[in-house]
């Protein structure tokens, strides 16, 4: 038995349709906003020229993020199905089925990676609670991070805890869990980050960091910067894999997809920019290196938090919010895996069984990644990277752009674009330009830009 309609899908997934329009927006924003914004964005900006990276990133968000997010939501709403079977359902044939497979595979590769970093948050939530980093200087904070993350057992435990929590949330269905949680916590995250912005701006020497992050130095824009920024755009917005297709499937038919995408993108970008405005002034004020890499945020934030009023409670509160922001993203990632397993089994496995299988498989991947970083397999290198690093690079610079490219071609060229449901459509006169612009962007701009960035990044073709 296969879930053929939206209702069946929703029933199968334990009534996980969202209760309200706000619920969809919050859940989609919850999926988008996470470690990608607060951890990955600042460290990549730091390694790739600061302001130059920010500029290219913002362009990517407008050119790729917006049309792709809209497309995914529209496909999902039209098909009423998860990523895995939506392509077949919409096109009516099997030619695009590989894209469902490809997306599921990509989500699978990224999920283990994401849980490992979520594990770092769990560790820092613990560190903040026991106040272990209080009074530490720049070098001590760096050494502290290295010591923590090279403790294999600790990293395994910290990585597996969020897998179990996410599994528990999925076990009980989507709507009650995520919706209620995000309604309260997302606004709190904004407030906390704003307070931290105020604190760092009061630090002596914060101007240098602000300039580094906000004033682009155009000479820093290289093919590698463009490729990293494009990858980060897909990663941060969770677009390009069809993940939002699953969310679109849960969306009420009368909800405006354009508005929903716009709000999600705005919130996601705002959090990334806020994170940059917290990190960079502090980097310069405390004498860190902006190109520190993945540990950047985990060493700079404790430095900032120590200087907050009510330092201890601010630290605990912040890492708790960061952990929850990460959880709303892991929920969306694991949900794709759970639904894929359910659909793969043609209805033989129910939601609970799929959650159990997904949990086991993800725990195993987390273990493999952790061991590839610190443990017995740390010597194992593929193309000069550990498995952990490789999974990130592979996903953001290759797997996500490829599926984004395919998705824009699929919709732009192979779908009946007169279909009102697949293209943003509005009766309102002032919005009439939206439709042709959307079609043109999907047909030409997105695919050409992705191919150019790709060839350019590989050095096959130099702009």
Binds ligand TRP by CB under 6 A, chosen from 18, 53, 133, 235: 235
User: Both tokens of residue 367?
Assistant: 């273990």
Query: What is the tally of helices (H) and strands (E) in the chain?
Result: 23, 0
Residue nearest to ligand TRP (CB): 36
Q: Does 295 bind ligand TRP (CB under 6 A)?
A: no
Among 238, 258, 260, 314, binds ligand TRP (CB under 6 A): 238
Q: Rule CB under 6 A: choose which of 9, 32, 200, 339 binds ligand TRP.
A: 32
Q: Is 21 exposed, middle or buried (0-12, 13-18, 19+ CB in 10 A)?
A: middle
What minimum distance in Å lies between the beta carbon of 250 and ligand TRP?
Answer: 15
Where b means 16+ CB within 10 Å and e means fewer, 49-70 reads: bbbbbbbbbbbbbebbbbbbbb
> Interface residues for ligand TRP in 84-143 (CB under 6 A)?
107, 110
| Nearest CA-CA partner of 453 in 148, 275, 223 | 223
Rounded to a whole number of angstroms, the minimum distance from the CB of residue 311 to ligand TRP is 26
323 binds ligand TRP (CB under 6 A): no
- Which range in 128-136, 213-221, 325-333, 344-352 contacts ligand TRP by CB under 6 A? 325-333
Segment interacting with ligand TRP, rule: CB under 6 A, options 88-96, 237-245, 288-296, 299-307: 237-245
Q: Tokens for 365, please give them.
A: 């991947």
* Distance from C-alpha of 229 to C-alpha of 65, rounded to nearest angstrom: 12
Contact stretch for ligand TRP (CB under 6 A) within 200-208, 222-230, 236-244, 424-432: 236-244
- Specify the residue, 110 or 196, whose C-beta has the smaller distance to ligand TRP: 110
Would you state the structure tokens that stand for residue 311, as one six-digit string?
């330092």
Question: Shortest Cβ distance from residue 299 to ligand TRP (Å)?
Answer: 19
406 binds ligand TRP (CB under 6 A): no
How many residues interact with ligand TRP (rule CB under 6 A)?
A: 16
DSSP-assigned letter for residue 346? T
333 binds ligand TRP (CB under 6 A): yes
Indicate the Cα dihedral angle 65, 3, 17, 324, nearest 10°. Answer: -60
Applying CB under 6 A, among 269, 329, 372, 374 the residue interacting with ligand TRP is 329
420-446 in b/e form (b: 16+ CB < 10 A) is eebbbbeeeeeeeebeeebbebbbebb
Q: What is the DSSP string of 112-167?
A: HHHHHHHHHHHHHHHHHHTTTTTT--HHHHHHHHHHHHT-HHHHHHHHHHHHHHHH
What lies within 8 Å, CB to CB, of 51 at 6+ separation is: 211, 212, 213, 214, 215, 216, 217, 220
- Interacting stretch for ligand TRP, rule CB under 6 A, among 34-42, 214-222, 249-257, 430-438? 34-42
Near ligand TRP by CB under 6 A: residue from 36, 100, 162, 177: 36
The reply to whether 354 sits near ligand TRP by the rule CB under 6 A is no
Provide the minimum distance between the beta carbon of 401 and ligand TRP in the complex, in angstroms, as a whole number: 12
Using the minimum distance from each CB to ligand TRP, give the nearer residue, 35 or 69. Answer: 35
Interface with ligand TRP includes 166 (CB under 6 A)? Answer: no
The CB-of-247 to ligand TRP minimum distance in angstroms stands at 10
Smallest distance, ligand TRP to C-beta of residue 58, A: 16
Question: Tokens 């057992």 correspond to what residue?
Answer: 153
- Shortest distance (Å) from residue 159 CB to ligand TRP: 16
Nearest distance, CB of residue 399 and ligand TRP, angstroms: 10
Residue among 35 and 68 whose Cβ is closer to ligand TRP: 35
Per CB under 6 A, the list member of 128, 243, 321, 342 interacting with ligand TRP is 243
Containing 291, the helix (H) or strand (E) segment is none
Judged on CB neighbours under 10 Å (0-12, 13-18, 19+), 299 is buried
> Is residue 31 close enough to count as binding ligand TRP by CB under 6 A?
yes
CB nearer ligand TRP, residue 28 or residue 423: 28
C-alpha 13/C-alpha 1 separation (Å) is 14
Q: Report the residue number, 44 or 206, with the smaller CB distance to ligand TRP.
A: 44
**Residues in the site for ligand TRP, rule: CB under 6 A?**
31-32, 34-37, 107, 110, 235-236, 238, 241, 243, 329, 332-333
């Amino acid at each position: 038995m296969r879930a053929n309609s939206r209702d069946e899908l929703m029933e199968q997934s334990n009534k996980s349709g969202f209760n309200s329009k706000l619920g969809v927006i919050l859940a989609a924003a919850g999926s988008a906003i996470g470690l990608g914004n607060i951890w990955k964005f600042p460290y990549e900006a730091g390694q790739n020229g600061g302001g130059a990276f920010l500029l290219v990133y913002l362009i990517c968000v407008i050119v790729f993020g917006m049309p792709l997010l809209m497309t995914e939501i529209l496909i999902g709403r039209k098909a009423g199905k998860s990523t895995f079977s939506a392509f077949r359902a919409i096109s009516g044939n099997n030619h695009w089925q590989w894209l469902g497979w490809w997306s599921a595979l990509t989500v699978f590769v990224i999920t283990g990676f994401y849980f490992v970093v979520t594990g770092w948050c769990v560790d820092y939530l613990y560190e903040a609670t026991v106040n272990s980093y209080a009074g530490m200087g720049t070098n001590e904070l760096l050494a502290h991070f290295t010591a923590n993350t090279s403790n294999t057992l600790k990293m395994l435990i910290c990585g597996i805890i969020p897998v179990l929590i996410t599994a528990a949330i999925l076990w009980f269905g989507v709507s009650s869990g995520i919706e209620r949680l995000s309604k309260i916590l997302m606004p709190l995250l904004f407030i906390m980050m704003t307070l931290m912005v105020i604190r760092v701006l009061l630090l002596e020497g914060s101007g240098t960091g602000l300039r580094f992050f906000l004033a682009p130095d155009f000479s820093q824009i290289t093919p590698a910067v463009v490729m990293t920024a494009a990858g980060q755009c897909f990663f941060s917005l969770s677009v390009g894999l069809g993940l939002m297709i699953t969310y679109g499937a849960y969306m009420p038919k009368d909800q405006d997809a354009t508005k929903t995408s716009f709000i999600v993108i705005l919130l996601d970008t705002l959090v990334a920019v806020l994170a940059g405005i917290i990190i960079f002034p502090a980097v310069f004020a405390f004498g860190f290196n902006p190109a520190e890499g993945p540990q950047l945020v985990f060493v700079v934030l404790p430095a900032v938090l120590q200087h907050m009023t009510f330092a201890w409670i601010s630290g605990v509160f912040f890492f708790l919010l960061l952990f929850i922001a990460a959880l709303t993203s892991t929920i969306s990632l694991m949900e794709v895996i759970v639904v894929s397993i359910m659909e793969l089994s043609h209805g033989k496995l129910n939601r609970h069984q799929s959650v159990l299988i997904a949990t086991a498989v993800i725990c195993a991947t987390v273990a493999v990644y952790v061991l590839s970083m610190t443990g017995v397999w740390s010597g194992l290198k593929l193309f000069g990277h550990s498995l952990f690093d490789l999974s990130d690079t592979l996903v953001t610079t290759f797997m996500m752009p490829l599926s984004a490219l395919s998705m824009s071609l699929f919709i732009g060229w192979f779908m009946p674009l007169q279909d009102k449901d697949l293209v943003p459509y509005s009766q309102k006169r002032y919005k009439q330009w939206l439709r042709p612009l959307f079609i043109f962007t999907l047909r030409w701009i997105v695919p050409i830009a992705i191919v150019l960035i790709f060839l350019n990044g590989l050095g096959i073709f130099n702009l």
